[in-house]
Amino acid sequence: LDPVKGPRRVSVGLKWLNDNNYIRSTPRKGNTPQIQLLDPRTGAPAVRPVRDFVEVPLTLWSGGWIVDLSATGLALLLVLLHARGRHRTPRYVTTPAKSRYGLSPDTWTRATKELSDNNLLSVGRTPQGGTFDYQRMRNTYQIHDNILNPPPLIIEDVR
């Protein structure tokens, strides 16, 4: 990012969010503005949801993934982080759950390929159903946390 254009882009984005009632930005003398998230439906201060939220690693921004991935790739990454919850094992997403997120099959396919190409995701296959049931193969999605959120780089002084 250009060190001159980057802060300007942030300022323009914050102004747009404020003008469109997504946030309330209150200037503070000699400091950054205080930002309050607003409910886009009512314009009232947003209340943190009791459930149905997703933890997003800070490296989504600091690692540059927010600009490297397309909107569809980011959308699927958020969906898979939400669907996974606190589990770290590969998970499958059922058809009703997929429809709840509102991503088209084409978007799902293209975003899966993009995340796989960027080494952020592995797609596996697992059977679903009992021994005497019809066994359906489902895709499992394993997010590569080591790529998305790598350990800190430690540089030793070898003097």
| DSSP string computed for the chain | --TTHHHHHHHHHHHHHHHTTSEEEEEETTEEEEEEEB-TTT-SBP---SS------THHHHTSHHHHS-HHHHHHHHHHHHHHTT--S-B---HHHHHHHT--HHHHHHHHHHHHHTTSEEEEEEEES-TTSPPEEEEEEEE-HHHHSPPPP------
d(CA 113, CA 106): 11
Q: Please name the residue that has the structure tokens 């459930």.
A: 51
pLDDT in tens, the chain (159 residues): 566 677 888 889 999 999 999 999 998 999 888 999 998 788 899 887 666 678 888 888 888 888 899 999 999 999 998 888 777 776 778 778 888 888 898 999 999 999 999 999 999 888 877 777 777 788 888 888 888 776 666 666 665
Through-space distance between the first and last CA atoms of the chain, rounded to whole angstroms: 34
d(CA 105, CA 81): 18
Residues 6+ apart with CB under 8 A from 108: 76, 98
Backbone angles phi, psi at 147, to 5 degrees: -85, -45
Supply the Cα-derived Rg of the chain in whole angstroms. 20
